[in-house]
Amino acid sequence: MGKRVVFDKPWGWMYAEQNINKWTNVKHYSTHMLSAMEVVEYLRTKGCGFQLKMDNIIWAEFYGLGLGYFTSTGSTPSEAICKASLLVSLTKDIWYEK
């Protein structure tokens, strides 16, 4: 999402905005709903549709971009969202501006 990510032995995974030299620890996106919603909003700006269903199984789905549907389940809504967004990123490089 426009961030540089590195692994530093003492500090773990760190990220910085592309033009800023301030480094921050990477959040555990699969456990933070607000972070998961940041991912949803970012993918929506790139043309993805989104739906979240919570019946007996929690699942999230992204669709569009001419690539079909990307669906994942999880034990929490944030986990399902992050897994589904990972499927999108593995199929289409939409995280960085060209």
pLDDT at 18: 65
List, for residues 44-67, the tens digit of each pLDDT value. Answer: 888 889 999 998 899 999 998 777
List, for residues 60-93, the tens digit of each pLDDT value. Answer: 999 987 778 889 998 889 889 888 888 887 776 6
- Which CATH number characterizes residue 43's domain? 3.30.160
The answer to whether 59 and 53 are in contact (CB under 8 A) is yes
> Is position 55 within any domain?
yes
Whole-prediction pTM: 0.63
Our count of domains for the chain comes to 1
pLDDT category at 26 given cuts 50, 70, 90 is low
Domain residues for the domain of 38 are 30-91
CA distance to 23, 31, 43, 52, 71, per residue, from 37 (Å):
22, 11, 10, 11, 16
Tokens 């030299």 — which residue?
A: 21
In which region does residue 18 sit, left (phi positive, over 0), alpha (psi from -120 to 50) or beta (all else)?
Answer: alpha
pLDDT at 22: 77
> Is position 85 within any domain?
yes
